[in-house]
Amino acid sequence: MSTTIPTEETQNPMLATTLALFDTAFERLELDEGIAEIMRQTELEMTVTVPIATDDGRIVTFRGYRVQHSSARGPSKGGIRYHPDVNIEEVRALAMLMTLKCAAVNLPFGGAKGGISVDPSQLSMHELERLTRRFAKMIAPILGGKRDIPAPDMNTNEQTMAWLMDELSSHRGYFSPEITTGKPVILGGSKGRTEATGRGVAIATVEMLHKLGMSPEGAKVVVQGYGNVGFYAANILHDEYGAQIIAISDVTGGLYNANGLDLPEINAHVKRARVLESYNGDAEHITNAELLELPCDVLAPCAIENQITEHNADKIRARVIVEGANGPTTFEADQILQERGITVVPDILANAGGVIVSYFEWVQDLQFYFWEVEEVREKLSRRMRSSFAHAYEAAQERELDMRSAVYLLAVDRVAQAIQKRGFVTL
Ligand code: NAD
């Protein structure tokens, strides 16, 4: 177990962006320097080497991480991702974003994140299960329903959470569904969790369009990333709000039709073929870079981090950007977008729907009493709308952009918790 201090010299753009945004919020709040220093660091970091036996009998090892940034406002909460690029700095940045996200929508959680540096497409189902169980065993000492609660993230899903929950329950000797969220409904998962992040992105989009005097009906929307977040965001905006989805993409490239894509047909194709590149319906094939620069009302980056940078920010032709992914915009790009008058609904607000329903799942697990999907959707919608309204008011009052306003609110809540708890007694 090691604790290391993140520094400004980081090479990781997402960590650099997060720390820079933290610093701006600290200055605006005129926050005590010591409290700011606590928030610039992570509480606990664990790096593990995870060995597994492959199906053909070899032993291979992977590097895994769990970082808890803050537990000031409650148990730390955050996803686990499987991706070859996972590294300690990325996990730190994502843990910090989780602290801020939970505070931004006023959940009683702190922030954490975890991951394994692995390409899961190269592993069989059995190998993935062995990897997840071994990782769970190694990080078990710092997890727990009242301590640190994982959830799915990139390339992990409800099956991953089921293995993790089973492993940790075995460790404790009794069924403990509150240890993870994003589980299958049959194991104490919440109805409405799978769609929750995308639904939250859709709600944030509609709220922002209304504030700008625009209607979601017929709005031209571009979605980068057609995975969990992007799929539900696009389909809910299309089906429930009448938006026109003019472009979507996945890692293999994008599809574009200025008059609106045929989503039901594309969804049927994706179900069969898994990827967009082999779709040969009524759409032009474009690259992810081209997709980001399409003229549209709303651009929703829902794939990975660092997509809008100083190299393409001046070419973005969207009226509004709604960040479904974590950290899709770099600090430099954010300044350019602000100068160009492009409104950004920041990640820690726009994609908070997932952690909001994770919170509902945790509450249901602790009570062993489960809600219908309508109740989950209604509560999610209420929480997203009130959080949006609060952030929007703060932005108007202080004449700030939405990101700065949300950071201010979130940092203030965490700082108050640190102070009131007396982390540092003089
Ligand atoms: P996912 O793996 O289900 O989907 C990711 C999508 O992005 C896929 O369509 C994939 O093909 C595409 N993609 C991957 N690499 C790409 C690249 N280089 N260029 C373009 N597209 C690429 O993941 P997800 O759960 O939808 O998460 C997406 C983002 O949203 C991540 O930043 C994640 O941290 C964030 N997020 C997810 C949740 C959640 O509940 N799933 C909650 C909050 C934030």
Sequence spans of domains, the chain? 43-181, 194-345
Mind giving me the DSSP string for 173-242? TS--GGG-SS--GGGTPPTTSTTHHHHHHHHHHHHHHHHTT--STT-EEEEE--SHHHHHHHHHHHHHH-
Give the residue, by CA position, lying nearest to ligand 1 atom 13.
251
The reply to whether ligand 1 has any atom less than 6 angstroms from the CB of 229 is yes
Give me the active site residues, please. Answer: 113
Whole-number percent of the chain with pLDDT over 70:
97
CA of 199 to the centre of ligand 1 (A): 15
pLDDT number for residue 404: 95
β 59-70/44-53 pair status: antiparallel
What pLDDT does residue 423 have?
A: 80
* Ligand 1 nearest atom to the CA of residue 196, by list position: 40
Six token digits for residue 400: 């700030």
> The sheet that has 148-152: what strands, in order across it?
44-53, 59-70, 110-116, 76-82, 148-152
The SS3 of residue 257 is: coil
Residue 246: name the closest of 230, 229, 261 by CA.
261
Nearest-CA neighbor of 336 among 299, 306, 303, 309?
309
Q: For 118-133, what is the mean pLDDT?
A: 98
Q: Please report which confidence band the pLDDT of residue 426 belongs to, taking 50, 70 and 90 as the band edges.
A: low
Atom 32 of ligand 1 has which residue's CA nearest to it? 325
Both tokens assigned to 420 = 């009131």
Q: How far, in Å, is the centroid of ligand 1 from the Cα of 251?
A: 9
Q: What is the pLDDT of residue 230?
A: 98
pLDDT tens, position by position, 348-370: 999 999 999 999 999 999 999 99
**Cα(8) to centroid of ligand 1, in Å?**
27
Q: What is the distance in A from the centroid of ligand 1 to the CA of 66?
A: 19
**Probe residue for ligand 1, chosen from 302, 307, 349 as the CB with the greatest number of ligand atoms within 8 Å:** 302
To test the pocket of ligand 1, the residue of 105, 149, 159, 251 to mutate (highest count of ligand atoms within 8 Å of its CB) is: 251
Among 324, 378, 390, smallest CA distance to 106 is for 390
Residue 5 — pLDDT band, cuts 50, 70, 90? Answer: very low
Q: Cα(84)–Cα(333) distance, rounded to whole angstroms? A: 25
Rounded Cα distance between 88 and 82, Å, is 13
Do the domains spanning 43-181 and 194-345 agree at the CATH topology level? Answer: yes
CATH superfamily of 194-345: NAD(P)-binding Rossmann-like Domain (3.40.50.720)
Residue that the structure tokens 């650099």 belong to: 16
Alpha carbons 391 and 404: distance in angstroms, whole number: 9
Residue-wise pLDDT tens digits, 367-420: 999 999 999 999 999 999 999 999 999 999 999 999 999 999 999 999 999 999
CATH topology of domain 43-181: Rossmann fold (3.40.50)
Q: What is the pTM of this model?
A: 0.95
Position 247 scores a pLDDT of 98
Query: What's the CA-to-centroid distance between 229 and ligand 1, angstroms?
Result: 7
State residue 11 phi and psi, 5-degree precision. Answer: -90, -5
Enumerate long-range contacts of 307-316, CB under 8 Å, 24 or more apart.
Answer: 307/224, 308/333, 308/337, 309/13, 309/333, 310/336, 313/337, 313/340, 314/340, 316/292, 316/340, 316/342
Sequence-distant (6+) residues with CB within 8 A of 97 are 18, 111, 113, 326, 327, 347, 348
From 82, 91, 181, 197, give the residue whose CB has the most ligand 1 atoms within 8 Å, as the site to mutate: 197
Contact 88, 44 (CB under 8 A): no
With a 6 A CB cut-off, is 288 part of the ligand 1 pocket?
yes
Task: Answer yes or no: is the C-beta of 108 below 6 A from any ligand 1 atom.
Answer: no
What local confidence, expressed as pLDDT, does residue 9 receive? 65
